[in-house]
Amino acid sequence: MIALQTLFHAIAQAKDEQTLRSHISAEMSEYFSATRGGLFFFAQISLIDSKIQKALQMALSPQHNPVARYLLEHHAPVHEALIVEPKTWKLICPRTDHWHVMAGPIVSNGELVGMVGFTRQQGTPPFDSQNLTDLSALCMHISTWVARRATPTQHLLLQTERLTAREVQIASLVAQGRTNAEISAELWITENSVKQALKRMFRKLEVSSRAHMVAKLSTVSK
């Protein structure tokens, strides 16, 4: 049985996101006796295959998944039995390998930037309060890892323009030509939140348009 302290050390020593998603995710799945397990950074979902991307966005959508909604609202680990009745969960997610689900938040600068999720198949014990306590500790270590390993561009932007991690994400999507509605769907926030964020970013950067903002940030990041 893998010790929790061993996982803490592995997270601290991880060199990149790929290490976290593959090796460490597998070790955490073993620790929680999970059928499946995974670590997702929302900003990376747009880089994967479009068909998988669409399915993953639906599965993680707060509008369709009460577990995802709980993470977004509370930034705290949760399993399905805490928020819905068993029969309701089976309607939401009838897959036998997702009979029990537990997820925890990855948070940066007060924003939900990812999640760690585990499932157990039908016929296995549900996740319990001790599992949630252990997952909370793991999520804290992963969130700390994320904060310490922001990209050089993000560090520069945060230092020179005081943009939050979420604002950096929004700026990146604006630079890709995404609309407010598309940004809202990709980052799991409301369209109004995108509009308000852009207003704050315009004030911080002293610009008056999306094009001007992208041009200024491009200059800063060079």
Do 104 and 74 contact (CB within 8 A), yes or no? no
Measured in residues, the chain has a length of 222
The predicted structure's pLDDT at residue 185: 87
3-state secondary structure of 95: coil
The predicted structure's pLDDT at residue 208: 87
The predicted structure's pLDDT at residue 57: 60
d(CA 142, CA 33): 20
Taking Cα atoms as reference points, which of 136, 109, 116, 104 lies closest to residue 41?
116
The predicted structure's pLDDT at residue 158: 46
Query: Bridge-partner residues for 79, per DSSP?
Result: 102
Structure tokens at 36: 């499946």
The predicted structure's pLDDT at residue 19: 84
Give the chain's residues under pLDDT 70.
43-61, 150-162, 218-222
The full set of domain ranges for the chain reads 4-148, 152-221
Q: CATH classification of 152-221 is 3.40.50.1220, yes or no?
A: no
Bridging pattern class, strands 100-108 and 78-79: antiparallel
Q: 0.75 exceeded by the pTM?
A: no
Q: Which fold has domain 4-148?
A: Beta-Lactamase (3.30.450)
Q: Is the dihedral of CA 110, 170, 149, 5 positive or negative?
A: positive
Cα-trace Rg, the chain: 18
The predicted structure's pLDDT at residue 82: 94
The predicted structure's pLDDT at residue 133: 96
pLDDT digits 0-9 by tens, 147-188: 877 554 454 444 444 677 788 888 888 888 889 998 988 888
